[in-house]
Structure 1
Amino acid sequence: MSLSLVLAALVAVTDSATHNGRAGQTTVPAVRADTTIDVDGRLDEPVWRRAALLTGFSLYQPADGRPAPDSTEVLVWYSPTAMHFGVRAYEPHGPVQATLADRDRVSADDNVEIQLDTFDEGRRAFVFIVNPLGVQADGTKSEAGGFIPGSNVMPGQNDLSADFRWQSKGRVTEWGYEVEIRIPFASLRYPVGAPQRWGLQIVRHVQHSGYEETWTPARRASASFIAQAGKLVGLAGMRHGQVVELNPELTNTAAGAAAAPSGDWRYRNDAQLGGNVRWAVGSDVVLNGTVKPDFSQVEADATQIATDQRFALFYPERRPFFVEGSDQFNVPNTLVYTRRIVRPEAAAKLTGKIGRSDVAVLSAVDDRATTSDASRPLVNIVRLRRDFGRQNTAGILYSGRTSGARATTTSPAPTRAWCSAASTSRRCRRCRA
Structure 2
Amino acid sequence: MLCKYLLLPFFLLITGFLFGQQNELPQKKIYTATRIEDKPQIDGILDDEIWKAIPEARNFVMYEPGDGKPSRSTHPSQVKIAYTDEAIYVAAYLYDNELSKIRREFAQRDNLPTADYFFFDLNTYNDGENQTRFYVTAAGTLADAKMKRDNEDFAFNVVWEARVSLNEKGWFVEMEIPYSALRFPGGEEQLWSMQLGRHISHLNETYVWNYIDKSIGESTHYNGILEGIENIDAPVRLSFYPYVSGEVDYIDDETTTAFNAGMDLKYGISDAFTLDATLIPDFGQTAYDEVELNLGPFEQTFGENRAFFTEGTELFTKGDLFYSRRIGDTPLGFNNAQDSRLENEEIIENPETTNLLNALKISGRTKSGLGIGFFNAITERQKARYYNKTTGEQRELVTEPLANYNIFVLDQQFDQKSSVSLINTNVIREGKFRDANVSGFLFDVYNRGSSFNFSGEAKMSRINYAESNKTGFASQLAFARTKGKFRYGISHEFANKTYDINDLGLNFISNYSNFNWETSYRIFEPHGIFNEYNIQFYGDHQRRYDPDIALTNNFGSSFFGMTRERFAFGGNVNYSTPFKDFFEPRRNNSFIEYPENAAAEAWISSDYRKRIAIDSRLGYNKYLGSPHGELNFSFSPRFRVSNRFMLIYSFEFMEENERVSFVALLPKNVIFGTRDMKSIENSLQGSYNFTNRQALNLSFRNFWSSANFAYDSFSRLQDNGELVSYNYKVDEANDPDANFNVWNLDLSYQWRFAPGSEMILLYRNSIFNVDKQSELAYFESVENLFKQPARHNLSLRIVYYLDYSSINSII
TM-score category (smaller protein): 0.7 to 0.9
Which residue of the partner structure matches residue 325 of structure 2?
339
Task: Note if contact 2:186-2:233 (Cα within 8 Å) is conserved in structure 1.
Answer: no
Please give the alpha-carbon distance, in whole angstroms, between the structure 1 residues aligned to 2:295 and 2:255: 43
State whether structure 2 residue 309 is matched by structure 1 residue 322.
yes
Map of 1:9 onto structure 2: none
Are the counterparts in 2 of residues 200 and 231 from structure 1 also a CA contact under 8 Å? yes
| Structure-to-structure mapping, 1:398-413, within 5 angstroms | 398-404=424-430, 405-406=433-434, 409=466
Looking at structure 2, the residues matched to 65 and 41 of structure 1 have their Cα atoms a distance apart, in angstroms, of 29
Tell me if 1:79 matches 2:79.
Answer: no
The alpha-carbon distance between structure 1 residues 222 and 107, as it changes in their structure 2 partners (threshold 3 A), is farther
Residues 56, 306 of structure 1: alpha-carbon distance in 2 compared, 3 angstrom cutoff:
farther
Structure 1 residues 219, 311: CA separation in 2 closer, same or farther (over 3 Å shift)? farther
The answer to whether the 8 A contact 1:301-1:315 is kept is no
* Residue of 272, 278, 295 corresponding to 1:290: 278
Partner in structure 1 of residue 211 of structure 2: 217
Counterparts of 1:31 and 1:293 in 2: how far apart (Å)?
42
In the TM superposition, residue 40 of structure 1 has moved relative to its aligned partner by 1.0
What SS does the corresponding residue of 2:406 show, helix, strand or coil? strand
Amino acid at match of 2:422: I
| Counterpart check, 1:364 vs 2:390 | no
Q: Which residue of 1 aligns with 2:42?
A: 39
Contact preservation (8 Å) 1:133, 1:179: no
Specify the code of the residue in structure 2 equivalent to 1:57: F
- The SS at the match of 1:113 is strand
Q: How many angstroms does 1:346 deviate by?
A: 1.5
Cα gap change, 1:216/1:275 in structure 2, threshold over 3 Å: closer, same or farther? same
Q: For 2:301 and 2:289, how far apart are their aligned partners in 1?
A: 11
CA spacing shift, 1:208–1:254, aligned 2, 3 Å: closer
Does the 8 Å CA contact 1:52/1:77 hold for their aligned counterparts?
no
Pair 1:252–1:113, CA change in 2 (3 A): closer
- CA change 1:86–1:232 in 2 (3 A) is same
Deviation string 1:12-66 (CA, Å, 9 cap, x unpaired) is xxxxxxxxxxx97711122111112211111111110122311111111112121
> 1:325 offset after TM fit, Å?
1.9
Alpha-carbon shift at residue 369 of structure 1 (Å): 3.5
Show CA shifts across 1:282-333 (max 9, x none).
Answer: 33110122222112244x14625466734554433342322332112132x4
Equivalent residues of 2:129, 2:416 under 8 A apart: no
TM-score norm. by structure 1 comes to 0.77
**Which residue pairs with 1:89 in the alignment?**
94
The aligned amino acid for 1:336 is F
Larger RCO (CA under 8 A, 6+ residues apart): 1
> For residues 255 and 106 of structure 1, what CA distance do their matches in structure 2 show?
34
Q: Which residue matches 1:113?
A: 119
1:388 aligns with 2:388: no
Distance 1:78 1:95 in 2: 33
Give the aligned partner of residue 104 of structure 2.
98
Equivalent residue pairs, number: 368
Say whether residues 1:125 and 2:131 are aligned partners: yes
8 Å CA contact 1:291–1:344 kept in 2: the answer is: no
Q: How far, CA to CA, are the matches of 1:45 and 1:172 in structure 2? A: 16
Please tell me the residue identity of whatever aligns with 2:376. S
Q: CA deviation at 1:219?
A: 1.2
SS of 2:66's equivalent in the other structure is coil
- Other-structure match for 1:247: 241
Partner of 2:760: none
Per the TM alignment, residue 220 of structure 1 is displaced from its structure 2 partner at its CA by 0.9
Determine if contact 1:31/1:76 at 8 Å carries over to the other structure: yes
Name the aligned partner's letter for residue 392 of structure 1: S
User: Which residue of the partner structure matches residue 197 of structure 2?
Assistant: 203
Q: Which ranges in structure 2 are unaligned for 5 or more consecutive residues?
A: 1-25, 329-354, 385-397, 436-464, 468-811
CA separation of 1:247/1:77 partners in 2, compared to 1, >3 Å: closer, same or farther?
closer
Identity, % of aligned pairs? 23
* Residue 236 of structure 1 pairs with residue 230 of structure 2: yes
Unmatched tracts of structure 1, length 5 or more: 1-22, 144-155, 259-264, 411-433
Q: Distance in 2 between matches of 1:394 and 1:25?
A: 25
Task: Specify the code of the residue in structure 2 equivalent to 1:77.
Answer: A
Please report how far the alpha carbon of residue 227 of structure 1 lies from its aligned counterpart in structure 2 after TM superposition.
Answer: 1.5
Question: In the alignment, which residue of structure 2 is the partner of 1:4?
Answer: none
Q: Is the 8 A contact 1:285 1:352 kept in 2?
A: yes
Q: Secondary structure at the match of 1:163?
A: coil
Name the TM-score, length of structure 2 as normaliser.
Answer: 0.43
Equivalent residue in structure 1 for 2:155, among 148, 155, 161:
161
* Greater strand proportion: 2
Give 3-state SS (helix, strand or coil) of 2:434's partner: helix
Residue 145 of structure 2 corresponds to which residue in structure 1?
139
> SS where residue 309 of structure 2 aligns?
helix
SS at match of 1:235: coil
